[in-house]
Chain A
Amino acid sequence: MEKKKNNKKIYMALGAVGRNLGLTLFGLFALFPLVWMVLCAFKSDAQMYNTVFRFTPTLDNFYAVLVRTDYFKAFFQNLVVAGGAVIITVIAGVPCAYALARYDFKKKEDVAFQILSFKFAPEIMVILPIFLIFQKIGLYDSYFGLIWVYQLITMPLLIWVVRGYFEDISVEVEQAAQLDGYAWYEVFLKTLLPLIKPGLVASGLLAFIFAWNSFTFPLILSGFKIQTITITALRYISSDTVHYGQVAVASTIAVLPEVIVALFIQKHLVRGLSFGAVKG
């Protein structure tokens, strides 16, 4: 009996060691590239080649990227396009989500699935004809055109996630507000919106990240006038003499806002990422 208990203790201890070892290995795989990126951002061109972890940090790379090239401009333009896309999505998408959650109407599920199917349409297929049309009607390389196309990324996400949050609110809340004499839009603005606010903010921010990260759309639909971070950053690697320090700075600047946002929306992340399918 005593021996069996001891064996169990040993297994438990071994299990804990194995578990933490496994987690640390995966943690290294997941996080080290980001650490290395930040390290490289502070390395000078000369030390890049002959040092690994011990070097004299310098801000030369930041100066080169932010002051001497138009990366800051791309950062700003990316902000305008992704932010604009999320604002339009929230204005048009939240009512949509509400209708899909609360009203019973013909073809409701068809509409909902049509919206979801945009998520699964190959981006290149959607974008080639849009490119033709945009060139004809003058939307190529314009803020308006890009913000419109970005709706394909942001709108399905927001509608499906926010719909779930609306469904979580019991109908009684609405009925009570109606009994108090609120009109239907007052019910929506004064009682429901405050209740879904955390979820709405989180899914809006997640939609912002997806829009911020978009690569295919700006690659094809933007030219010299509008540049986004993802496209501009690639220039640093494709030139003949690669300045790896500048590559690192460009990546760090692109990733930093996203990591900060991710920290704020942890609680809603699973739900947002799975389009409301998993209520983590």
Chain B
Amino acid sequence: MRTNMIKFIVKRLLIAIPTLLVIIAFGFIMMRVAPGGPFTSERALPPEIERNIQEAYNLNKPIWEQFYIYIKNLSVGDFGPSFKYKDFTVNELILSGLPVSVTLGLSSIIISLFIGCFLGIVAAIKRNTYFDYSVMSISLIGICIPSFVMAPLLSLFFGLYLGLLPTSGWNGGNVLNLILPITALSLPQIAVISRMMRASTIEVLNSNFIRTARSKGLSPSYIVRKHVIRASILPIIEYLAPASAGLMTGSIIVEQIFGLPGIGRYFVVGALQRDYTLVSGVMILYASLLIALILVTDILRALLDPRVKL
């Protein structure tokens, strides 16, 4: 089992290298195909200055050579200088934004996992009761309201009207500052997870081995804890990888609304300003996070279900 697991992990990490290369190449080309460049501005620069800049950032070389230089630097962990944030490297920008985004993303995914699963299981057990109907209709609302509506509403209500919580800002990671953005990020996730959990729990509750468990004389709460959850959580685990990768690399909108210095805004600003290295850097980060999390979910699934062979 253990050697199998290590073999599996090594194999997957080796497969991840070509995958990442393809993603990097794709991003590299996409950015350069987009019209304009990092140093295009309304006022035309004198040709010699432009030539100097191009030379400094290797933009005068043929594109395949630029790609080669970029990959070479990447292999030693250097994402290159930012084209737009002068005097900053992409590494520095990512490192400054990542802790913010990871704190937000990780806490909201954990919170939504617990609340969503709990609500889904209870709704499934008490299906077709008022509890079930209210959870399901509230979660439908949660899915429908986009975060750019939810976030300002939360900020307006709790920040301005009630004056309980700060409306925006990071403030060194103060817990009070985190509550609203985490809530805004969690609500749609709670909604999705609770609906998924309800559906899969109902399916498991109707399966034959649960009937066996009941005929054994086990108590209902024991059956749910020991038999139902292990089976019904599998689709949630599957969903968790893309969801948490998305949340951790920063919800662009929520970070923008609450004025948080996360990584999401670099993605948007970088793309708009053709900051080639910054966009590629954030993209590589997102892709590797996703690959890593999918690997983790595959391992988790094998641990939860003995029928899955790694």
- Is this pair of chains taken from one and the same complex? no
